[in-house]
Amino acid sequence: MLHGAQLVLQSLFPNAPKKPSWFSGFLPQPRELHGVKITKIEGEIPRALNGTFYRNGPGAFGEVSHVFDADGMVARFHFDDGAITFSNRFVQTSQRLEEEAAGARLYRGFGSPLPGGVPGNAIAGIDETANTSVLPFGDKLLAMAENGRPYALDPETLETIGEHDFNGTLGPHTFFSAHPKVLADGTAYNFGMAYGPLPAVNLWRIDPSGSLEKLPRLPLRHNTMMHDFAATKNHVVVLEHPYRAGIGGILKMFAGQDTLANALAWHGDDPMTVHVMDKSGAVKRFETPPDFIGHTVNAFEDKDGNVCVDYLGYKDDAPYRMLQSVLDAPPTLAMENTLTRLVISRSGVEKKKLARMDAEFPQINPRYAGRDYQFLYAVKSETGAWSSSRLVKTDVKSGQTSSHDFGAGHFPGEPIFVPKPDAVSEDDGWLLSVVYDATTHGSYVAVLDAAHLSLLAKAHLPIHLPVGFHGAFRA
Sheet containing strand 359-363, strands side by side: 359-363, 375-380, 390-395, 401-405
Calpha distance 269→96 (Å, rounded): 41
Split at pLDDT 50, 70, 90, the class of 114 is: confident
Q: What is the mean pLDDT of residues 290-312?
A: 97
In the structure, what pLDDT confidence band is assigned to residue 108 with cuts at 50, 70 and 90?
A: confident
**Is the Cβ–Cβ distance between 143 and 130 less than 8 Å?**
yes
Residue 193 has pLDDT above 90, yes or no: yes
Q: What is the structure's pLDDT at 332? A: 65
pLDDT tens sequence across 182-191: 999 999 999 9
Q: Is the pLDDT of residue 242 over 60?
A: yes
Query: According to the model, what pLDDT value does residue 12 have?
Result: 54
- pLDDT (mean) for 98-109: 89
CA 226 distance to own-chain centroid: 12
pLDDT value for 386: 67
Q: Give the pLDDT mean for 198-220.
A: 94
* pLDDT band, residue 333 (cuts 50/70/90): low
pLDDT of the residue at 4: 46
For 302-440, list the strands marked E by DSSP: 307-314, 338-344, 349-356, 359-363, 375-380, 390-395, 401-405, 410-412, 416-419, 429-437
Which pLDDT value is given to residue 316? 95
Q: 430 with 448: CB under 8 angstroms?
A: yes
Are the C-beta atoms of residues 228 and 362 closer than 8 Å to each other?
no
Instruction: Report the pLDDT value the prediction gives residue 1, as an integer from 0 to 100.
Output: 38
CA-closest candidate to residue 27, choices 6, 54, 48: 6
Total number of domains constituting the chain: 1
Other CB atoms within 10 A of residue 139 CB: 9
Quote the pLDDT of residue 5. 52
On whether the CB atoms of residues 394 and 388 are closer than 8 A, the answer is no
Q: Per-residue pLDDT averaged across 360-387, rounded?
A: 91
Confidence band of 6 (pLDDT split at 50, 70, 90): low
- What is the CA angle 436-409-21, rounded to 5? 90
Task: Dump strand ranges (E) for 110-149.
Answer: 133-137, 140-144
Least confident of 84-93, 142-151, 321-330: 321-330
Share of the chain above pLDDT 90, in %: 74
Domain that holds residue 182: 2-474
Give me the CATH number covering residue 76. Answer: 2.130.10
- Longest Cα separation, the chain: 61
pLDDT at 83 over 80: yes
